[in-house]
Structure 1
Amino acid sequence: MSNSLHLSELVSAISTALDMTEGQPIGHCVRSCWIGIHIGQEIGLRDQDISDLYYMILLKDLGCSSNAARICQLYLTDDQKFKHDFKKINGSLPQALRFVLSHTGLQASLSERFQAIIKILQDGGEIAKELIETRCHRGAEIALKMRFSQKVAEGILNLDERWNGTGLPSGVSGDDIPVFSRIALLSQVVDVFHTSEGRHAALEEVKSRSGTWFEPDMVKAFEKVASKDEFWETIKDPDLENIIQDLVFPTHDITVDEDYLDDIASAFAKVIDAKSPFTHGHSERVMGYSDLIAQQMGVPYHKRRWLRRAALLHDIGKLGISNSILDKPGKLTDEEFAIIKMHPVFSVNILKNIIAFADISPIAGGHHERLDGKGYPHGLNDNEIDMDTRIVTVADIFDALTADRPYRAAMPVEKAISIMDEMVDSAIDSQCYKALKSVIQEVSALNTSLQETLAKVGIKETA
């Protein structure tokens, strides 16, 4: 990997996936970053703080996937549309009531919708706290795993706090709210309203929340920034990502080495797997199985390291799919299955624009293809599917069969193997599958040996 790979460009590019999860127009985090950086400079933040603010705003939604399933469950709705529209309400009781009535259970039966609305009206405060607390704590935790500073993590943790103390999850107020959080929340609201309704609407919305959501002096700072036409014109520039990087990092930036890249891939896999309770740990298990298969096949270490990243990020496109479809317990309609089949396409679109991960995008895009040409999304034939993709495909199928899914419980390994036996040379590669079975046999033998050893010394196996 070239030493010219900078952390700023990597994070900026990966923020696209977070936009998808939040149901926001692509570029939301980048545009919010542009807005926030200017506010930060206007209030006199020093260069190092501006650098941290850059990362905090781009990663403000790191924990957003962790409450998607719960939103679907509670509101019986599409989590992405819910999140998109929720960012426009100001928290007043009339707006909140209208929002609940217009977004709860529209496709559910009348009785289900009625029960859901009653529960939300009764327990609305606790529900909101639960959803935001889950997102904020998870986001801060992942930011630290990605090696960002405590200031960045604290900024994410307190994103939804308000100047007057009516925010969540802790209800802190005024200067007790980290300055990064205050800037990021204001910037987020500006982008949401500017993108949907224009410059004037964004300014009016911010001023209307001065003293409640936002610090009055910070609103004044934004008004100064917003008085310049160039500020608004640049937001529309297709090269905005690079413009921000040049503004924040004119002479220096952090370079990303191989170890750091591994950490980022591993941390972001947690964002992907948090999207659904049925995919908890999926990416890490697929990574593990893929690595063992590759090792069994004699793939050298440096190539396996690259393959592990591909396995960790192979499902990144699922961040763009609503949990109302991902977690549906019954049979998917043709329309719903067509949407599911788009997740490898989304994966490619995200990864190909991230320099560090562009070369793994074909694996993410092809892991649901079959050797007989009956896979998706492109119906590739065996001579169009490389060995790296075949390895991840076998690992992915094995984990899918042996883990819980919305429509069935996890299968025993023996049953999964019997199903995969029938897929050889039609869906999956025989060489990769042979390697998987060898790995399973070795693990089983080691487990048996371990149990026998524990029994000999009088230690019983615990669950």
Structure 2
Amino acid sequence: MLREIYVDLNNVFLSLSDAIDLANPSIACHQMRCAYIVWQLGKTAKLSKERIKRLYMAALLHDIGAMTPKDKIRLHTFEESDILAHCLRGEVLFQSVPLLAPAAPLIRHHHRNWSDCEAPIGDPDVLDAQILHLADWVERLIRRDAFILSQMEVITTQIRTMEHTVFHPDVVELFIRTSDREEFWLDLSSTRLYGLLLRNGPLRSIETPFEDIASIARVIQKLIDFRSPFTATHSAGVAECAALLTEHFGYMETEVRLMRLAGHFHDLGKLIIPNAILEKPGKLTREEFQVMKQHTYFTYEVLNSIDRLERVAEWAAFHHEKLDGTGYPFRVRAEKINTGARIMAVADIFTALTEDRPYRAGMPLDKALGILKNQADNGKIEPRVVSLLGDHAKEISQQVKATQLESMRFYTEHFTDAVLAEHQVA
């Protein structure tokens, strides 16, 4: 019998929001802080619990369409001229997940000024998008090198000057009424904000079934992969390869599903790696490789913070560890690397070798398997997994490529510059 898995939804959203904002200390917790603001404004406005939940989920992931660390920083510092592009990408990603789809209009319009709105403020989508827009502005106005209470008056004054043009007067009034307490600002800037939202936030104590988490993981996989044509379908391929190997190993369907989840998340930490390193076609310098080494550390830290995903954290994050202890970043040896992590390591190498990249064609199966066998013979990776892969290489390779083709189709249909330009005038 298939064992159903439930995970704390608030825990998942907070941890993934945190991961997206790890790109630079200057934007750390940006989305989480916005979520706190919309939650407080929603309560002041006496919105229904369901609307507040929708606003809160939208705020926690509202910048999901900003694909690179550079994009995120430019948005945060008001330097980005093409504001709409990340809103459109975010809208598409939200629409692809049933749980997130109701909040998709808020993502599309979270930078729309009131003067550009055609619908009345009484429209729930308009009001909620305006609340998120204001929250985003407030958070970006906060200086991280100055005490928060000394900034209250300056930020409030700035928001007042934007009334009627950027924000509807009702939304500005909501903010004024909500932010007149020092507690609001101290909570907002607190290093304990994650814990505060986890304990008391709108999604507290909501357990969600595995399929909701799996659908969110597929969105995060797209966020990881689509930021660069060099790795545009890599995580999709690794997830499929790892799941198929787990199935051939004879594991139950629950473990197969968890392994696919781990595959989608395995490069989560690459969200903080600059594209200049990810897209370098040649060998990385020592300094560049040191930067790259941190990605699996952050994959582990983020996933391990989600209750009941501890196994997934190891399977996902240990894919660069070696059985002889020469891997990175944890330098663990064979006795601390479980079978799931060994499967993921082989799946990652196999997918990387056989997939096409813009600067080179994928390697033929026999050559890729030869490299894997050599690593197994030298005590780096698990020989049983390599042998199993060899027995089913053609079948696995075909299914991996089909999965990657489907992922690339989604990218070309929704994420190319031409498609985004079409949507901007729609």
Same fold at TM > 0.5: yes
Matched position secondary structure for 1:256: strand
Summarize the Cα distance change of 1:263–1:332 in structure 2 as closer, same or farther, 3 Å threshold: same
Summarize the Cα distance change of 1:160–1:21 in structure 2 as closer, same or farther, 3 Å threshold: farther
**Which amino acid in structure 2 is aligned with residue 186 of structure 1?**
L
User: How big is each residue's C-alpha offset from its partner over 1:404-454, in whole Å with a ceiling of 9 and x where there is no partner?
Assistant: 3465332232332232232223322110001111111446899xxxxxxxx
Correspondence for 1:63: 65
User: 1:186 aligned to 126, 134, 141, which one?
Assistant: 134
Please give the alpha-carbon distance, in whole angstroms, between the structure 1 residues aligned to 2:114 and 2:303. 37
Correspondence for 2:95: 144
Runs of 5+ in structure 1 lacking a partner? 69-79, 90-98, 101-123, 166-170, 447-463
Correspondence for 2:409: none
User: 1:286 aligned to 219, 238, 247, which one?
Assistant: 238
Correspondence for 1:84: 73
Correspondence for 2:114: 163
Correspondence for 2:269: 317
Please give the alpha-carbon distance, in whole angstroms, between the structure 1 residues aligned to 2:136 and 2:104. 17
Summarize the Cα distance change of 1:313–1:217 in structure 2 as closer, same or farther, 3 Å threshold: same
Summarize the Cα distance change of 1:328–1:441 in structure 2 as closer, same or farther, 3 Å threshold: closer
Question: Whose radius of gyration is greater, 1 or 2?
Answer: 1
Correspondence for 1:46: 48
Please give the alpha-carbon distance, in whole angstroms, between the structure 2 residues aligned to 1:262 and 1:315. 16
Q: TM-score by structure 2 length?
A: 0.82
Correspondence for 1:37: 39
Summarize the Cα distance change of 1:46–1:347 in structure 2 as closer, same or farther, 3 Å threshold: same
Summarize the Cα distance change of 1:84–1:173 in structure 2 as closer, same or farther, 3 Å threshold: farther
Q: In the alignment, is the contact (CA less than 8 A) between 2:99 and 2:212 conserved in 1?
A: no
Structure 1 position 202 matched with structure 2 position 204: no
Correspondence for 2:176: 223
Correspondence for 1:355: 307
Give the aligned CA root-mean-square deviation in angstroms.
Answer: 2.9
Correspondence for 2:345: 393
User: How big is each residue's C-alpha offset from its partner over 1:313-371, in whole Å with a ceiling of 9 and x where there is no partner?
Assistant: 11111111111211123332221110101000110111111114233212222111122
Q: In the alignment, is the contact (CA less than 8 A) between 1:394 and 1:428 conserved in 2?
A: yes
Q: TM-score by structure 1 length?
A: 0.76
Task: Please show how residues 105-144 of structure 1 align to structure 2 within 5 Å.
Answer: 128=82, 132-133=84-85, 135-144=86-95
Runs of 5+ in structure 2 lacking a partner? 400-426
Q: In the alignment, is the contact (CA less than 8 A) between 1:296 and 1:435 conserved in 2?
A: yes
- Identical amino acids, percent of aligned pairs: 30
**Which amino acid in structure 2 is aligned with residue 432 of structure 1?**
V
Correspondence for 2:216: 264
Task: Please show how residues 290-439 of structure 1 align to structure 2 within 5 Å.
Answer: 290-405=242-357, 408-426=360-378, 427-439=380-392
Summarize the Cα distance change of 1:247–1:6 in structure 2 as closer, same or farther, 3 Å threshold: same
Q: In the alignment, is the contact (CA less than 8 A) between 2:52 and 2:202 conserved in 1?
A: no
Correspondence for 1:18: 20
Deviates more, 1:394-403 or 1:14-23: 14-23
Summarize the Cα distance change of 1:443–1:148 in structure 2 as closer, same or farther, 3 Å threshold: closer
